Amino acid sequence: MTPHAGIGQSIPRSEDRRLTTGRGRYVDDIVAARETYMAVIRAPHAAARILDIDTSEAEGHPGVLGVLTGKDLIADGIGRLHTMVQRHKRDGTPMERPPFYPLAIERVRFIGEGVAIVVAETRNAARDAADLVEVEYEPLEAVGSALAAAEPDAPAVWPGLVDDNISFVFEAGDSARVESAFAKADHVTRLDFRVTRVSANALEPRNALGSYDAIDDRYTLTSGVQIPHKIRSEIAENTLGIDPMRLRVIAPDVGGAFGMKGSPYPEHILVLWAAKKLGRPVRWTATRSESFLSDFHARDNFTHVELALDKAGTFLGLRVRTKANLGAYLGFNTPHSPTNNLGGLSGVYTTPAIHAEVLGVFTNTQPTAPYRGAGRPEATYAIERVIDLAAQELGIDPVDLRRRNLIPASAMPYDTGFLFVYDTGEFEKNMDIALDASDYKGFEARKKQSEARGMLRGIALINAIEIAGGPFRNTNEEGAEIRFDTGGGVTLLMGTQNHGQGHETTFRQMAVEFLGVQPEAVRVTSGDTDRVIHGRGTFGSRSAMAGGLALQRAADKVLARAKEIAAHLLEADPAQIDFAEGTFHVRDSNRNIRIEDVARASFIRGKLPLDWDMGLGASAIVVPPEANFPNGVHVCEVELDPKTGRVSIERYLVVDDVGTVVNPMLVKGQIHGGVAQGIGQAAGEEIVFDADSAQLLTGSFMDYPMPRASDLPMIDVISNPVPSTNNALGIKGAGEAGAVGALPAYMNAVINALAPLGIRHLDMPATPYRVWQAIEDARQKSD
């Protein structure tokens, strides 16, 4: 290995130089000849019939090239968007799949749904003409809350198809065993809580540039997406009805995604459709207001959780009932988040019986999609919040209650009996490190100092564990290709997609580790379905593990081939050739050759036998053998002002186990980012709809408070890596770990500060007003 450049080193991100100096290449930096601009006319009602669309005035507007509606779309045979996730109704039959067209057909079902498009020579002309399209609506009753939509008398989002608004019922665990556990419990803690709806708000808004080549009968979609290959196949096969080879998807630099950009969207299809009809490239970029209206949202569920304990505080059983808001349509991943990561309810504890039930509920709101954590923060919040409440009710220290129920390291691998089998983990050691590093024992003294100033202080320690790189065992493959060029340089073609995580740096370090090449000689490329043979994409904290395993397999193939060439060049038996740090050696001699020289020789006809293939390179598509389970401890300490309700985070510590750490600096950055997003939701972010009309009330950053630098603390991250035994690299995912733990850590700390006032629970977000109102309500009760 080249010193100080391989796995385990804190190498600065190589991509940052171009990204921080304005030299990144995003979709809006790519200019197509004769490109045009698309504007989408969006519904102002959450539920309404479309009675008429008058496009005549818009069509006559200067610069307008075309105005298209849902009727045009159907006439041209454009199909629906599909969901890849199958769930079932309570009777066991498959859930209904309501028709999700790129433009509304006859009826709109959420605020912001597209009803028509305008394509014009300029962006301003398209937007001006969009205002001239007159749509006549008949407003209908709407419902925006999963709780309200599940009521018997709720307006039906899909009358005649799903009259009760229940899309599916998903169960996991042994309900009879849980019933038995609760029957013998000495204490049961119960809690109803809400996990709010949020918007991802990536720095780069969603976008799409579509073009069509009539000669080749081939489309090209350039868009900032997470999973280019899968989006290609979905759009081609299910919506356009063409062979995937007739659609190229290019994803250049992507300015944040977080799960939200992991789905095909209506606008992807619309720009391609319009480009073919008009014979010119069509571009669309969302405004910030349009993003709130058209991006898929996330989270949004109501949960009832019950924890059964015996006299000693031992967990006997856990029961969870959730109503999950799906929105009006089933997007590509919509049923995934509330159902696929329920195994996190086990936490790091020995709870012997767990049962969960999730109702997927249709509402007149935007479809939901994965967002950093994709169900993991919700599961962790459920178990960690109810543990704190149980500790309060039983008069047991919350840390001690957790310790009594921890899975010991000696029990690994550990079958939770509920979906997951943990391969490795040192949960008690994580807690001990966190308690010491956070000066947990000194909290009471700090609390008294706060009280002397008229302030309230709270602290929370929570354990977090999640699944990464799974659980899609049969559909979680990943691809990588290594190509040496004639000068000895290396190009890596990766099937994962970088959208801010530092993949170029990470995979370059892996190439240095596996091949012994110089880091500056390695080029990393991804995000082009014509150049990269196959890729599953980036999601679920899988890239370093899944992409790394594919890269390692490809590297093994390259080295096997290079060893044969090296043996020929060194006039030695291949069995006598050893390889280390980029150099092939003839054992027990001073003869050697660098891998770069082997690569150069592989392209020279006279250097190889005539019957040998020339060149040096290999590809691999691998299926990781098992998922892995990142875990850790978050300690959050807050101080709040009872007069204003304002909360300040005084200390935040994370002890994290992400297995083999490829780049410690990048991992810390990922943890920091995840914590920031978790705190953002817990402290202020919330998509709100009017209860009567389902009208969006938080349509800008004036109403939707994103966390600012002043809202976030310094975040200390301590690594306690226990390599995974489920993959050859020992890697556990890192991308979502911070968000998984931050949500319960922050909320538990705030509620801990409020507990002396008799406050049992507070739903997120803990805005100053909500905190102040809770304090006022508690004071009025005590008077």
The residue with tokens 């300490």 is 637
Tell me the average pLDDT across 649-653: 98
pLDDT reading at 608 higher than 80: yes
State the Cα–Cα distance between residues 311 and 188, nearest whole angstrom: 11
CA atoms within 13 A on the CB side of 423: 22
Using DSSP's 3-state secondary structure scheme, residue 493 falls into strand
Block residue for tokens 């240095």: 512
Looking at the predicted structure, is the pLDDT value of residue 475 above 80? no
Predicted local confidence at residue 469, as pLDDT: 85
Concatenate the DSSP letters of all residues of 529-589 into one string: TTTSS----S-TT-IIIIIHHHHHHHHHHHHHHHHHHHHHHTTS-GGGEEEETTEEEETTS
The residues spanned by each domain of the chain are: 16-23+477-622, 32-140+203-257+261-294, 386-470+627-782
Q: Give the domain 16-23+477-622 fold.
A: Aldehyde Oxidoreductase; domain 4 (3.30.365)
- Average pLDDT over the chain, rounded to whole? 96
Cβ partners under 8 Å of residue 233, min gap 6:
244
On the question of pLDDT at 491 being above 50, the answer is yes
Rounded CA-CA distance 568/574 in Å is 8
Average pLDDT over residues 520-524: 96
- pLDDT tens-digit series, residues 421-445: 999 999 999 999 999 999 999 999 9
Q: What is the pTM of this model?
A: 0.95
pLDDT of residue 736 exceeding 80, the answer is: yes
Q: Which of 219-228, 237-246, 466-475, 580-589 has the lowest mean pLDDT?
A: 466-475
Q: How far apart are the first and last CA of the chain?
A: 71
* 470 has pLDDT over 90: no
> What is the topology classification, in CATH, of domain 386-470+627-782?
Aldehyde Oxidoreductase; domain 4 (3.30.365)
722, pLDDT greater than 80:
yes
pLDDT tens figures, 274-286: 999 999 999 999 9
Res 474 pLDDT > 70: no
Q: Where does the pLDDT of residue 473 fall: very low under 50, low under 70, confident under 90, or very high at 90 and above? A: low
pLDDT for 3 equals 47
Report CA 398 to chain centroid distance, whole Å.
30
Question: What pLDDT is attached to residue 2?
Answer: 44
User: Do 332 and 263 meet the contact criterion of CB atoms below 8 Å apart?
Assistant: yes
Mean per-residue pLDDT, 95-103? 97
Task: Tell whether the model's pLDDT for residue 170 goes beyond 90.
Answer: yes
541-566: per-residue pLDDT in tens?
999 999 999 999 999 999 999 999 99
* 32-140+203-257+261-294 matches 16-23+477-622 in CATH topology: no
Beta-carbon contacts of 2 under 8 Å, excluding residues fewer than 6 positions away, are 512, 516, 517, 518, 519, 581, 582
CATH number listed for the domain at residues 32-140+203-257+261-294: 3.90.1170.50
pLDDT of 476 higher than 90: no
Task: Give the pLDDT of residue 744.
Answer: 97
